[in-house]
Amino acid sequence: MRRKRIGLPATLLILLALTGCWDRRELNDRLFELGSGVDRLGDGSIQVVGQFMIPAKSGEGGGDQRSYLVETGTGKTVSDCLLDMQLKLSRRITRGHRNNIYFGEEMAKAGIADVVDSVTRDPDSRLKSDIWIVKGGTALDFMQVSYPLENMPAIALSKIRHIIGKTTGNSLLEVMIEENVAGSGPTLPAVEIVRDEKLHKKTLQIYGRAILDRDQRLAGYYDRMESVYRLWITGETDRIPIAANARGAQGLFNTEVTRLRAKIRTTVQSGRVEIDVDLKGSGVILESLPDVDLRDPAVLRGFEADLNRRVEQDEAAVIRKAQKQFKVDVFHFGQAVERQHPDAWTRLEPHWAQAFSDAEITVHSHVKIKRIGLQGPPPNKR
Partner 1 sequence: MKLTNYQLFWLLFSMETGMSVMLVIAPTFRAAHQGSPLATLLAGIAALLVTFVAIKLSLLYPEDTFVEYVPKIIGDWLGKTIVFAYLLLWTAVAGIVLREYADFVHLTLFDKTPIWVILLFMLLVIVYGVQGGIQIVGRCSEVIGPIIVFNVILFRIFSLKDLHPDRLFPLMPSGGWMPVLSGSAPAASFMSESAMVVMLIAFIGNKRKAVATGLWSVGLAAVVLLNVVMDAIMMLGNTVPAKLQYPVYSLSQYISVMEFVQNLDILLVVGMSFTVFVKLGLYLFMTSYGTARLFRVKAWSRTLPIVACLVFAVALFPRNVDESQVIFPAFWKNVAYPIFLFGIPLLLWMIGSARKGTKRSRLPKAP
Contacts with partner 1 by CB under 8 A lie at: 14, 17, 20, 22-23, 96, 123, 126-128, 169-170, 173, 176-177, 180-181, 335, 338-339, 342-343, 345-346
* Closest approach of partner 1 to the CB of residue 120, in Å: 8
CA atoms of 73 and 80, how far apart (whole Å): 8
**Residues 278, 282, 283, CA angle at the centre, nearest 5°?**
120
Helix (H, G, I), strand (E, B) or coil at 21: coil
Element (H, E) at 9: helix 2-18
Q: Which is nearer to partner 1, 12 or 14 (CB)?
A: 14
Shortest approach of partner 1 to residue 223 CB, angstroms? 26
Nearer Cβ to partner 1 (20/42): 20
Select 178 or 315, whichever has its Cβ closest to partner 1.
Answer: 178
User: Which CB atom, from 164 or from 181, has the smaller least distance to partner 1?
Assistant: 181
Query: Least distance from C-beta 96 to partner 1, angstroms?
Result: 7
Half-sphere exposure of residue 232, counting CA atoms within 13 Å on the CB side?
34
C-beta separation of 332 from 184 below 8 A: yes
| Closer of 65 and 180 to partner 1 (Cβ) | 180
Alpha-carbon span 77 to 117, nearest angstrom: 10
Minimum gap (Å) between residue 294 Cβ and partner 1: 35
Q: Do 348 and 268 touch, CB atoms closer than 8 A? A: yes
User: Which residue, 63 or 123, is less far from partner 1 as judged by CB?
Assistant: 123
CB of 182 vs partner 1, minimal distance in Å: 11
Evaluate whether 212 touches 105 at the Cβ level (below 8 Å).
no
Cβ at position 178, least distance to partner 1 in Å: 9
Between 207 and 345, CB nearer to partner 1? 345
Q: Which residues contact 27 (CB under 8 A, 6 or more apart)?
A: none
CA geometry: angle at 165 spanning 242 and 70, to 5°?
Answer: 120
Q: What are phi and psi of 368, to 5 degrees?
A: -105, 135
CB of 192 to partner 1, least distance (A): 25
Tell me whether residue 348 or residue 361 sits nearer to partner 1 (CB atom).
348
The CB-of-203 to partner 1 minimum distance in angstroms stands at 24
CB neighbours of residue 199 within 10 Å? 8
Query: In this structure, are residues 233 and 331 in contact, taking their beta carbons and an 8 Å threshold?
Result: yes
Q: What are the DSSP calls for 194-238, one per residue?
A: EEETTTTEEEEEEEEEEEE-TTS-EEEEE-HHHHHHHHHHHT-BS
Instruction: Specify whether the CB–CB gap between 50 and 87 falls below 8 A.
Output: no
CB-nearer residue toward partner 1: 10 or 243? 10
Residue 279 φ/ψ, nearest 5 degrees:
-105, 135
